């Protein structure tokens, strides 16, 4: 079975991240993971911090900076034989909810919608579907401040062992099962103690976003859970 991390952050992009992309890669390689998705934050709060540090940025410059953590991880992972794939943890301006995006997140996906963060989750989900990107709600009940939106996602992260939050995983799993949604898990790694806390196991390696999407939607994965 092959290990894949579905949810991690780099300090290059996510202000809450405490490990560089290269440090993340080294730790996941040591933990036996074949593939990682870099899911840096894509939200107005994070973008505002980039602008504070760098000055005014165009939408294209924002997108380019967002991808720097993934690019650094990819460069570090290739010599180790690891697959490093791009994802995003999206927060729309309408709520505190977070959504993980899986698919071909090319520049056009972002550049064609400079109003992306202003969309409702219903409108964003429709846009993502039109581009072949699926939406997985991250930690849908975190700290009692997030609210599940099962009608507008393609799956739910039902296991998130991040130690600094209360994620109500059992309740999330019940919601996902009630709505017949595909279920996944991820470490939500920001710090050394978060690394390799979860992810998924598959019979074949995840080499592309489409591989993961296929495994998720077909139920062809097993969630890694802490013992």
- Strand order through the sheet with 183-185: 41-42, 88-90, 98-102, 134-138, 155-159, 183-185
DSSP H helix total and E strand total for the chain: 8, 11
- Quick check: 206 and 83 in contact, CB under 8 A? yes
SS3 content of the chain, % helix, strand, coil (to 5): 40, 20, 40
Q: How many domains does the chain have?
A: 1
- Whole-angstrom distance, CA of residue 45 vs CA of residue 92: 10
Question: pLDDT class for 226, splitting at 50, 70, 90?
Answer: confident
pLDDT band at 15 (very low <50, low <70, confident <90, very high): confident
Please give the share of the chain, as a percent, with pLDDT higher than 70. Answer: 100
pLDDT higher than 80, residue 227: no
Say if residues 10 and 19 touch (Cβ distance below 8 Å).
Answer: yes
CATH code of the domain containing 32: 3.20.20.140
Asked whether residue 103 carries a pLDDT value surpassing 80, the answer given is yes
Asked if residue 106 has pLDDT above 80, the reply is: yes
What's CA 215's distance to the chain center, in Å?
A: 16
Taking CA 10 as the corner, what is the angle to CA 99 and CA 200, rounded to the nearest 5 degrees? 55
Query: Angle CA(157)–CA(133)–CA(16) in degrees, nearest 5?
Result: 50
User: What would the mean pLDDT of 56-82 be, rounded to a whole number?
Assistant: 97
Q: Which domain holds residue 181?
A: 2-223
Model confidence band, residue 80 (pLDDT cutoffs 50, 70, 90): very high
Q: Which residues of 133-169 are buried (b: 16+ CB within 10 A; e: fewer)?
A: bbbbbbbbbbeeebebbeebbbbbbbbbbbeeeebbb
Q: Give the chain's radius of gyration (CA, Å).
A: 16
**140-188 pLDDT tens trace:** 999 988 999 999 999 999 999 999 989 899 999 999 999 999 999 999 9
């Amino acid at each position: 079975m092959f290990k894949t991390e579905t949810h991690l952050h780099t300090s290059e992009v996510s202000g809450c991240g405490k490990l560089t992309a290269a440090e993340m890669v080294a730790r996941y390689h040591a933990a036996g993971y074949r593939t990682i998705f870099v899911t840096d934050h894509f939200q107005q709060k994070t973008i505002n911090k980039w602008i504070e540090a760098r000055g005014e940025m165009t939408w294209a410059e924002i997108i380019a900076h967002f991808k720097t953590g993934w690019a650094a991880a990819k460069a570090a992972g290739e010599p180790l034989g690891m697959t490093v794939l791009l994802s995003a943890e999206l927060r729309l301006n309408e709520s505190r909810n977070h959504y993980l995006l899986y698919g071909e997140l090319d520049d056009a996906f972002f550049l064609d919608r400079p109003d992306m963060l202003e969309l409702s989750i219903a409108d964003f989900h429709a846009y993502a579907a039109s581009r072949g990107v699926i939406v997985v709600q991250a930690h849908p009940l975190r700290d009692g401040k997030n609210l599940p939106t099962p009608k507008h996602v393609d799956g739910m992260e039902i296991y998130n062992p991040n130690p600094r939050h209360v994620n109500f995983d059992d309740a999330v799993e019940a919601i996902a099962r009630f709505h017949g949604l595909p279920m996944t898990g991820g470490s939500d790694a920001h710090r050394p103690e978060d690394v390799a806390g979860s992810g998924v196991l598959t019979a074949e390696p995840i080499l592309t976003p489409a591989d993961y999407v296929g495994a998720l939607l077909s139920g062809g994965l097993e969630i890694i859970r802490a013992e």
